[in-house]
Structure 1
Amino acid sequence: MPLRCLVALVGGLVLAAAFEPVGWAVLMPVGIAALILSVHGLRPGRAWIPSLLFGFTFIYAVMVWMRSVGTDAWIAMCAMETAFFVPLGLGLSWSMRHRLWPLWTALWWVGVETWRSGWPFSGMPFGRLAYATAGTPWADALPWVGMTGVSLLVALSGTTLAWLLLERPRPTRRVVAGVAGLAVVTLAPAVAAYPITPDGTATVAAVQGDVPGTGLNVPAVHREVTANHVRLTEELAASVDAGEAPQPDFVVWPENSTAVDPFLDEGVHDGIVAAADAIDVPVIVGGTNTNPLDDTEVLNQGIVYEPGIGGGDRYTKRHPVPYGEYIPFRDVSWMPSTYGRLTEVPRDMVRGTSLEPLDVAGIRVADAICFDVAYDDGIGGQVARGGQLVTVQTSNAMFSRTSQLDQQFEISRLRAQETGRWVVVAAINGISGVVRPDGSVVASVPARGQQVLLEEVGLSTTVTPAVRLGLWPSRLSLVFLVLSTGAAVFAYRRRRQSTDPTATAAR
């Protein structure tokens, strides 16, 4: 057992190295294989131990950027995420009794990954295997099978590698056939790319205004932040008027480009209106607004400001961050809602429900705000309803010195491939960028940069198979998890009954 535990601990670190800032995606099968080998041959009563250790090093390493919120928050959140590796270990142990255990164990990984990505409090999707595949052959399958399908391909690569190691030195025909089949399924999308039909082009400007001072605390300098975005937009307008730059069809500002309600703060409102009027095209502004139905709640929105008109169409963030943007069970007397940095969240943010794309200058825009990009429902749902282009408005200022920026930008690249859409990312102080539907980056602004990206992007209404499938792959992975657990419990009870002398005598 000590050797198994060591293999599991190292395996978790190896898998974490596949994600940014290291970004060695080729290590993912190795990390998964290490987990399988550490659990292989153990009964469920002991298999959860190496699995938990694997999860410990993997989760804490991948999400070390949470320390920017606070060491206590990092420890607490990662402890909760690590706990999911206990049922994973039980499931892996049971699955390895089946003939096709490489497939069963891969399905168990994906099922638990989906579970922890959506629960509790909307879950924590960072660390999904698919999110480390940018620039790899696995990512070519995204428009066909989506994030869940790609995670399954990666997991299956790892479990198959473990299968080969356990079958050596004479792999059977079954193993050889399995490896060949996996190679074909993985590489076929690179040869048969899903065709995306263009429907025209648009010129889009993404503004990264930066955050004064340390760059970590937007609320403390929010007026300067808004002023930066107003100034850069007006400078772009001057360049357009002078014939030095093309007129954009619309402009994108990041999340928290205004950290106060722009409809209640006269100074902020006037600045935004002045910028929209100067550039004479719509500006999608990231603003935190009071809920008109309940002034004790706030909405995180992308608001389309029309020149000469003001605020128009809106998108509301679907996945507010628990304990960062709202406090679960705030009204429960024993909850520490006034403890430490939780005092910085005086009002709860309410999640949006609409999947209707924004109408911006006649273009249907699928918008996402910050962590929304890590969830499968928002962007895909809007693209399925006619979104021709994807915009991501984000405020990662708190994480500007960490790998969170790189991890989230990689996810934006992958969403471009999954949906077959150009993606325009506007970050408050990094990383902003423009991404083609093949995941390649046209232009970007690094962290702490202050710049306007002005690029011509393509539009499309082609709906990829992944978008058509929507959330069904995730739902089916959870159904598999429930049915497999039920089958394992049923088999266990039957074995107990068959070996129970009392039950045998009664029969």
Structure 2
Amino acid sequence: MSDSAVVEPGVGTNLGREAGIAHPVKARARRGPVTRLRQAGPALAASLRTSSGRLAWARLLLAGVSGYVLHLAFPGIGIWPLAPVGVAGLAVATRGVSGRFGALLGFVFGLVFFLRLIPWIGIYVGALPWVALSITEALYVAAMGALLPRVWRARGGLPGLLLASGGLWVAQEAVRGRWPFGGFPWGRLAFSQSDAPTAPLASIGGAPLVSFAVAVAGTLLAWAVVKAGPVLRSRAVRQLALPALGVALALAVMGLGTLIPLPTEGDSTTRVAAVQGNVPRAGLDFNSQRRAVLDNHVNATMQLAQKVATGEAEPPDVVLWPENASDIDPYINADAAAEISAATDAIGVPILIGAVVQGPGDYVSNTGIVWRPDEGAGTGDDSTYVKRHPAPFGEYMPYRDFFRLFSSKVDLISKDFVSGDKLRDNPVGVMRMGTEGQVRVGDVICFEVAYDSLVRDSVKAGATMLAVQTNNATFGYTDESVQQLAQSQLRAIESGRTVVNISTVGVSGIILPDGTVVARSGHYTQDVLEATVPLRTELTIATRVGEWPEWILTALALGLVLGTALSRREKTS
């Protein structure tokens, strides 16, 4: 293959194109891919120093501001209408630029967004993991940014533009949520919409359809801005009808979910009590007083039993404890087992406890165990669940020797957690609870709530309600807990199930199948949440169709982008 290529027109060589500026003079030179790669960095830097580079700096600033605006839509701040505004800003910034510059814009957008969204990653372990994860996540947005300029040239006019842009957002989130190490889905557009009118769309197409709707609405806003530019410059205000139409369509897309009915009742009801026992202190050493954490949950349950005995509280059918409620293995520690049994016998119904269990071998297991009155710890698939997706760098350390070169904190994880997938043929945890085993609780532990397939597996296996057992003590007084609670809200709508998000320290919540939070705790308090909730067996459309909406939207978007690229190549050949 010869070392030749066509150089795009611009300031000098291809600099104007990198800055998003067209040049009327065409030039050709013979340069190969290696030469282009070597010159890309200096060429881009030079373009930013030229007069045309001033527009490039404006685009970079717009991308960064848009990333910041998007983070404001997520819980903690929670201004959900800003999600499509953030998407619109990136779309406008990438219009008319090259793929390389689009990738840079996407990276800037993603870096600002994730640095502001997940600072809790480094709250007790320093800035390195927070910054490293933010950079890694931003690279996915950079890959999307490289393709966004092409969506403005997609076939099919405005519908083609919307499908390509929305589908690229879905594709980016799909890959980011799966790879590497099982992915990190935090920051999906859908997770900003748990209280928005777009949320009911999750019952039809899951989180991917909600993200798609937000991205489409944002692209419509961007299209309106582009159409309004010439009109405002010419002061022909009467011609603002087209931009106004774009804004109106964006609002309509964001409101589509209001047309979707959501269930509020079920086949039966059950009384649930969720115990948030609290911990002695926040931080990585929250479990240094492991017995105190266990005692807190035992005592809170005993107090509930006393209230039931005196008629101050209704007797529950199901009691749920959070992840890490017992970091003392109750299978091998008789004192811990006796404490749990005392609480279970006092309340008179099964308790789902979260425990750290030793084994197999040198591993440990993040386990949900159904503990029954007068029986103790249950066994089998309907009484135990081992977390299927341990968090990399949080519960196990991949490539430990390599990452130790960057930080000695890797050895804070002294033992790796094992995946439940490796322990049994049927790892999905659907627990039989209630006085007669009539309540089928699907167990989801901590970050697993962010993964579509893990939640869907529990529902398809027969869960009539979901329990999200979590421990937020390692993230301090940050927005991590409310971000996770919002994900549980979306899962309730998506699955048509009651979801109980129970944390050691809060924020905990009991959520109805329509996403309504009927009971909610504070942060770092001891509390017991109680509610009578519906149990449902009917599957939502989203549960039935599974991953198909995600793959179809991704395939259509990539097809449009690829078709546009091939069409341009044919015209220039």
> TM exceeds 0.5?
yes
For residues 26-425 of structure 1, the aligned pairs below 5 Å read 26-68=81-123, 69-98=125-154, 99=157, 100-168=160-228, 169=231, 170=239, 186-195=254-263, 198-214=266-282, 217-291=285-359, 294-312=360-378, 313-330=383-400, 334-336=402-404, 339-353=407-421, 354-361=427-434, 362=437, 363-425=439-501
Task: Indicate how the Cα distance of structure 1 residues 216 and 45 shifts in structure 2: closer, same or farther if over 3 A, else same.
Answer: closer
> Is there any run of 5+ residues in structure 1 with no aligned partner, and where?
499-507
Inter-partner Cα distance in structure 1 for 2:105 and 2:531 = 49
Pairing 1:434–2:510 present: yes
- Cα pair 2:501 2:510 within 8 Å, conserved: yes
Q: 1:132 to 1:101 in 2, by over 3 A?
A: same
Q: Give the root-mean-square deviation of aligned CA atoms.
A: 2.3
Q: Distance in 2 between matches of 1:36 and 1:188?
A: 22
Q: Is the 8 A contact 2:67 2:110 kept in 1?
A: yes
Among residues 39, 46, 57, which one is paired with 1:2 in the alignment?
57
Contact kept, 8 Å, 1:207 with 1:453, in 2: the verdict is yes
Is this contact kept in 1: 2:459–2:495, CA < 8 A?
Answer: yes
Residues 197, 461 of structure 1: 8 Å contact kept? no
Q: Percent identity?
A: 36
Deviation of residue 329 (structure 1)?
Answer: 3.0
**Bigger strand share:** 1
What's the offset of the Cα at 1:491? 5.7
* 3-state SS in 1 of match to 2:539: coil
Tell me the CA shift for residue 391 of structure 1: 1.0
Tell me the TM-score normalized by structure 2. 0.81
Q: 1:230 to 1:337 in 2, by over 3 A?
A: farther
- Alpha-carbon deviation of 1:337? 8.4
- Determine the C-alpha separation between the residues in 2 that align with 1:5 and 1:374: 30
- Indicate how the Cα distance of structure 1 residues 473 and 93 shifts in structure 2: closer, same or farther if over 3 A, else same: same
Tell me the CA shift for residue 129 of structure 1.
0.6
Q: Deviations over 1:177-220 (max 9, x none)?
A: 87766655543431331446511111111101111134653221
**Aligned partner of residue 515 in structure 2, secondary structure:** coil
Do the aligned residues in 2 keep the contact of 1:217 with 1:397 (CA within 8 Å)?
no
User: 2:519–2:530: 8 Å Cα contact kept in structure 1?
Assistant: no
Distance 1:339 1:65, change over 3 A: closer
| Correspondence for 1:504 | none
Shift of 1:227: 0.7
Which amino acid in 2 is paired with 1:369? I
Structure with larger Rg? 2
Are residues 1:453 and 2:526 paired?
Answer: no
State the 1:20 CA deviation: 2.2
C-alpha distance in 1 between matches for 2:351 and 2:406: 37
Distance in structure 2 (CA, Å) of the matches to 1:417 and 1:213: 34
Q: Is the 8 A contact 1:141 1:189 kept in 2?
A: yes
Cα separation, partners in 2 of 1:384 and 1:181, compared to 1, 3 Å: farther
Whole-angstrom distance in 2 between the partners of 1:42 and 1:107: 20
**When the two structures are superposed, what TM-score results if normalisation uses the length of structure 1?**
0.91
2:538 aligns with one of 438, 462, 468: 462
The aligned counterpart of 1:15 is 70
Q: Deviation at 1:103?
A: 2.2
Cα distance in 2, alignment partners of residues 379 and 44 from structure 1: 36
**Structure 2: distance between partners of 1:421 and 1:165:** 40
From the superposition, tell whether residues 106 and 413 of structure 1 become closer, same or farther in structure 2 (CA, over 3 Å). Answer: same
Per-residue deviation, 1:384: 2.1
Shift of 1:412: 1.1
Checking the alignment, whether the CA contact within 8 Å between 2:277 and 2:505 is kept in structure 1 is yes
Cα distance in 1 for residues equivalent to 2:526 and 2:120: 23
Deviations 1:255-282 (CA, angstroms, capped at 9, x unpaired): 0001132211222122111111111110
The Cα of 1:131 is off from its aligned counterpart by 0.5
* Alpha carbons of structure 1 residues 8 and 335: separation in structure 2 relative to 1, 3 Å: closer
- For residues 466 and 8 of structure 1, the distance between their equivalents in structure 2, rounded to whole angstroms, comes to 33
Residue 158 (structure 1) shift: 0.2
Deviation at residue 351 of structure 1 after TM alignment: 2.1
C-alpha deviation, 1:305, in angstroms: 0.6
Contact 1:337 1:343 in 2 (8 A): no
Distance in 2 of aligned mates of 1:185 and 1:145: 15
Structure 2 unaligned spans of 5+:
1-55, 232-238, 422-426
Structure 2 vs 1, CA of residues 320 and 477 (structure 1 numbering), >3 Å: closer, same or farther?
farther
When structure 1 is superposed on structure 2, of 299-308 and 177-186 the one drifting more is: 177-186
Q: By how many angstroms is 1:494 displaced?
A: 5.5
**Is this contact kept in 2: 1:114–1:477, CA < 8 A?**
no
Distance 1:195 1:458, change over 3 A: closer
> Aligned AA for 1:417?
I
Distance 1:120-1:171 versus aligned 2 partners, 3 A rule: farther
CA contact (8 A) 2:489 2:516 kept: yes
